[in-house]
Structure 1
Amino acid sequence: MKYLDQTVCEALRKWPPVPMTDRLCVKDYDLKLDGKNLHINANDSCYIPIWSFHRDLKYFPNPEKFEPERFSEENRGNIDPDTYLPFGVGPRNCIGSRFALMEMKTFFYYLLLNFSFEANSKTQIPLEFDNIPFDIKTKIGIWLSLKPRNN
């Protein structure tokens, strides 16, 4: 079950439910980023690029590789919690994130218990994504074959 948790976390890193989120700034901020000064006014909307954080080499080495071991007990401490945001972070994070994670793990447990997943002639490897702003969508969908296991 630990490896299932790691796999779900890595899948959410590579393919977060939403590519970005937004927040409303509540007070004026002056930030220094990459040697430049940035001023954010109160009531400005700020967009947080979840997809970009999850694919940034600075935060996730070899970001295009699917590596569930990133989320092992030994490696979890190497992840900056402010850069792994599949459900947001802080007081405005997704209220249903714990339920969604439990539901996802239960779903995969029963699927893997009863079926094996196999690529077929329509399976696209690697997946290619459409360039649709504010959405994560594959060009041709996700095609897999499910073969019943003999229990």
Structure 2
Amino acid sequence: MYSSDQATDSGRLQQELEPLIIKYGVDLAVWGHMHCYERTTPVKYNNFTDRDHFSSDGKIYQHNATNFNQTSPIHLTIGTAGAWIHENWIPTPEWSQTRYQKYGFGKLYIHNATHLEFKSILSNRTASDEEDYFMIIRQF
């Protein structure tokens, strides 16, 4: 839903789904189709909304989940199997944390009810050598 790839037009999708994603307190929304990798900061209605709970290096997002109206999901676009079909980025929006167009794959680890971890690995690297990494820690 959130991608700074120039070919993206998610207006209608965003209108229909974003209110539901926010209403039900989704922590991570995973998308495909765009031939790139992009991870957002916590974002809602095109605005970066949660600076206070993101670590300075952008790797750990920790929030209090008792008030769903205060949470914003991180959006993850993974379309790196077709990475070099085109490369047309718009200028980097405030909500775009990491983006690239290289071949690769992702590994999602759900450790328990409070800890989620994601690693993005380029196809020409080993599984322990990630291109992007982040964790979401939910406090109940």
- Indicate the TM-score class for this superposition, using the shorter chain for normalisation: under 0.3
Q: TM-score, with normalisation over the residues of structure 2?
A: 0.25
> Larger radius of gyration, structure 1 or 2?
1
Kindly indicate which of the two structures has a greater share of residues assigned to helix.
1
**TM-score normalised by the chain length of structure 1:** 0.24
